[in-house]
Amino acid sequence: MRILGLYNYWVFVFLMMVGFYILISRRNLVKKILGLNIFQTSVFIFYISMGKIIGGTAPILVEGEGEVVYSNPLPSVLILTAIVVGVSTTAVALSLVVRIKEAYGTIEGDEITAMDNEMPPP
Amino acid sequence: MSDQVILRVATKIIVPTILLYALYVQFHGDFGPGGGFQAGVIFAAGIILYSLVFGLRRTQKVLPSWVARLAASTGVLIYAGTGVVALLKGGKFLDYSVLAHDPEHGQHLGILFVEIGVMITVLGVMITIFYFFAARGREDL
Amino acid sequence: MEILVDFALLALLAVTAMAVVRVTNLFAAVMFAGIYSFLSACLFTVMDAVDVAFTEAAVGAGISTVLMLATLALVGSKVTTPQFRITAMSTKVPPRRPIFPLFVVLVTGGILVYGTLDMPPYGNPDDPVHNHVAPHYLEESGHEIGVPNVVTSVLASYRGYDTMGETTVVFTAAVGVMILLSSLRGRDTYGQEAWGDEKVQDLDVGFVDAFGEEMDAPSPKVGRRKKRKRRKKGGRG
């Protein structure tokens, strides 16, 4: 089990770093938003993997039958909230991208900075 | 896309099933996986599928924009309203035990109202955001 | 047997994330992100978090992908590199050198991997996370609330404040999108928008056709051979 746990956490670190890399190195704004999504989802995977009990079942109470081992419901609750907040952030970010495209004509970060540096602000 | 026969017929069969499934998920969220968020998102996905196949104008006759906006705020009102009703009945804010004659029935009632509020808000919000994205820059909408 | 499923899903997730980094066509990148969300929903199911899997599949692979595709329809789906852009600007656009981000990412990843060596064993019932509030919820929820799904009872009753805050956040997102995308003007060019000069069109009048008539394409009637005269429909996008 130790190797499964370590593999799990290391894949989570890899996914989080891939998302982080997309966020800071790519210049296209929509790609940055995709990187943010990957980053957020990897953190959810980490949380949920902490709530799992080997040999447990989903936390829905069953009638009778003596001892049943349930997995932890608490990380699920927190991550439900986090998923919905994540999609809200994505929606507002995408509408900002649409406005930027209409105002500047491009969604590449370096072109936007160059345009801002060239034209003096009114 | 409504000139493709297969898409049209299949959508007419599938969309009511999707909406019914959303209601199933909402009301069986107490006994299995499910609840308000999932139900609201599935309902919105059904409406979005309808609008992808039949066009935004026809969808806005089915579910006008003002209804979606009203739904978004009504859900939050229902949620906060449940808390205030609990206050008026003598308990704490969002303390469902005082809503009925028996604490356990009060909890059931409170959870029912709260999940309905969440579902209505989420479906209103998702549909509103989709309408605003889809109608951007089109002067005929 | 579960271990194999875990291994396979995590490996597929890593491959999909790398694919999102490498592709240049944004449409393909959005599709890969949808696959990523769906694979993580499968992983959540294997880890016994069924409510979360449901929500992630519906929200991540459904709504999020649809919104990104709607944005791509408005914005364009190619990622252009500096050498292929025609710019009439005087400032030089520097070529991309991702050495520094790569270095930052490797250092942060190394520190995190060093941190995970201290984590408690995976799946052990004696972990600290399973020992404080969670047993109370599992034991008391049966007779205090009487709802079989413990996640629903915790979400709606024990932690009802958080859920109210979350509903308000979702509502605020709708308000934010409405503010940003409300003026139906469409295309601005850079520098020509005078602040305070906007005409924000009334939302109700703008959405419904002023004549109230059907403007979609006529549905073909099966068997009809006559050619119909197509009216010129003005203003269709």
> C130: pLDDT confidence band, cut at 50, 70 and 90?
confident
Tell me the average pLDDT of chain B: 91
The answer to whether position C15 is within a domain reads yes
DSSP class of residue B33 equals S
- B109 φ, ψ to 5°? -65, -45
Boundary (domain end) residue, out of C25, C45, C80: C80
Query: Nearest C-alpha of chain C: how many angstroms from A67?
Result: 12
A4 close to B (CB below 8 A): no
Q: Which residue of C has its CA nearest to A83?
A: C56
Task: Test B133 with A80 for CB contact under 8 angstroms.
Answer: no
Q: Is C188 left (phi over 0), alpha (psi -120 to 50) or beta?
A: beta
Domain boundary among C51, C80, C109: C80
- Domains of chain A, earliest start first: 2-50+71-118 (1.10.287.3510)
Rg (CA), chain C: 26
Q: Decide if C3 is inside a domain.
A: yes
Query: Is residue C231's pLDDT more than 60?
Result: no
Please give the mean pLDDT across all residues of chain A. Answer: 88
User: Closest Cα of chain C to B127: distance in Å?
Assistant: 9
What is the pLDDT, as a whole number, of residue C182?
A: 80
Among candidate residues C80, C100, C118, the one where a domain is terminated:
C80
Whether the predicted interface score ipTM is above 0.90: yes
Which of the residues B41, B48, B129, B131 would you substitute to probe the A interface, choosing the one with the greatest number of A C-beta atoms within 10 Å? Answer: B129
Phi, psi of A60 (to 5 degrees): -120, 120
pLDDT tens sequence across C168-181: 999 999 999 999 98
3-state secondary structure of C5: helix
CATH of the domain at C34: 1.20.120.1200
Is C9 part of any domain? Answer: yes
Q: C54 and B34: CB-CB below 8 Å?
A: yes
Q: Where are the domains of chain B?
A: 5-134
Subunit contact A111:C43, Cβ cutoff 8 A: no
| Domain, as residue range, for C174 | 149-184
Do the Cβ atoms of A91 and B129 come within 8 Å?
Answer: yes
**Chain B residue with Cα closest to A91:** B129
How many separate domains does chain C show? 2
Q: Is residue C175 part of a domain?
A: yes
Mean pLDDT to the nearest integer, B114-129: 95
B8 CB within 8 Å of a chain C CB = yes
What does C187-209 look like in DSSP terms, one character per residue?
PPPTT-PPTT---PPPHHHHHS-
Summarised one tens digit per residue, pLDDT across range B26-62 is 999 889 899 999 999 999 999 999 999 998 889 989 9
DSSP string, A54-84: TT-B-SB--SSSS---B--SHHHHHHHHHHH
pLDDT tens for B60-83 read 899 999 999 999 999 999 999 999
Residue C36, in any domain of the structure: yes
What mean pLDDT is predicted for residues C20-24?
A: 90
pLDDT for C224 equals: 45
Please indicate whether, in this complex, the C-beta atoms of C156 and B110 are within 8 angstroms of each other.
Answer: yes
pTM of the complete model = 0.83
Q: Identify whether C123 is part of a domain.
A: no
pLDDT range class, residue B116, cuts 50, 70, 90 = very high
- Residue C211 pLDDT grade (very low, low, confident, very high; cuts 50, 70, 90): very low
